[in-house]
Amino acid sequence: MNVFATVLTYPAPTANYRGESELNRSVIQKVTEGRFEYPIISPEAMRNALRETLRGYGLPCNRERLGNEEQLAVRFADYPWPEKYVDDFLFGYLVAERKQIPEKVVKARSFQFKRDSVLRMNLAKALEPYRHDTVFTQSPLTIKNEEAPWQNAKTSALLHRETAVSAFQYPFAVNLSDCRLDDKELGKQYKDWLRLLLKAFSELNGVAGNHARSYYEMAPASIVIRLSGALVAGYGTYGFKPEGSFPEVVDGILNGDYLGKEFYFGGLLVKQVLSEDQKKALQDKGVRLFRMANQALDAVAAKVCGQGFLSAGKESA
């Protein structure tokens, strides 16, 4: 059984970027589709935010992001141990230098030197193309004198950053067999980890770069989820249109291309986009409709883990 999902965020101004700036210009990462460039956010950035969210839930994480170093840096609490640490289990790892792992650890843990990620993700891509918008910010000169003991910048600078206003969409998938939910010893732990991973998607934040200036939520405004034994989603996983519709799946369900009982819709797609006739027809096909995206994720968590993460508000639309 596999979980396939596509998340659509709310639109907002974004100045996301990763890596070094070009002089004083902060550049949005982009990908070309057809004749246009679209802003993107990397799955690595989202996975890091998911890791920190799971840590915030109190789950044991092996890797910790360090924020006070001169470059991106992390620290490990232990050697990789997927049976103990949720991030090693869900996100995988690769030991680049095998000699660093003591032989006694290898034997005691039946150690894996590399482990694939249980969670599969792809780039978050904007719904609207980049329009070459920019914003300028003045960085002031700082003065050092008897009353000011240090000087942060000896000159003033005009900071140039690219901006865009768009929603993003991104797919993720989980193979439930990889989650070992029926493990006799650790099955309950793995169910809790998967349940809280789905919760983390429902309130994903802290993803976009440029945190000093930008607040951009990656939690779903709308979500389409398929819970199926199929090995592929079977439709375009970047299927949301700028108006928030997902026509390929909706049309496919209504025409019998997909089993409606495998699908969960949530958020603005249900509240604002689908007509009442469409909602009635989809429900007749077995589709579960929820006014809130987190309710759809909660219903999937309850289905595959035996327990959801919401205490109320699970009623379908």
Highest average pLDDT, of 16-20, 23-27, 54-58, 137-141, comes from 54-58
Cα-trace Rg, the chain: 22
Tell me: the pLDDT tens digits for 228-277? 999 999 999 999 999 999 999 999 999 999 999 999 999 999 999 999 99
CA distances from 246 to 7, 55, 296 (A): 11, 33, 16
**Who wins on pLDDT, 27 or 209?**
27
| Confidence tier at 40 by pLDDT (50, 70, 90) | very high
The Cα angle at residue 153 between residues 149 and 156, in degrees rounded to 5: 130
Cα–Cα distance for residue pair 296/135, rounded to 1 Å:
37
Per the listing, tokens 């989980």 go with 174
The distance in angstroms from the start CA to the end CA of the chain is 26
Tell me: the pLDDT tens digits for 283-314? 999 999 999 999 999 999 999 999 999 974 44
The pLDDT of residue 71 is above 70: yes
The pLDDT of residue 211 is above 70: no
Helix axes 187-202, 293-305, angle to 10 degrees: 170
pTM across the whole model = 0.92
Cα–Cα distance for residue pair 282/300, rounded to 1 Å:
18
pLDDT attached to residue 10: 97
pLDDT attached to residue 313: 43
Tell me: the pLDDT tens digits for 152-176? 878 888 888 888 999 999 999 999 9
Looking at residues 34-60, what average pLDDT do you find? 94
pLDDT attached to residue 142: 87
Residues 6+ apart with CB under 8 A from 70: none
The pLDDT of residue 20 is above 60: no
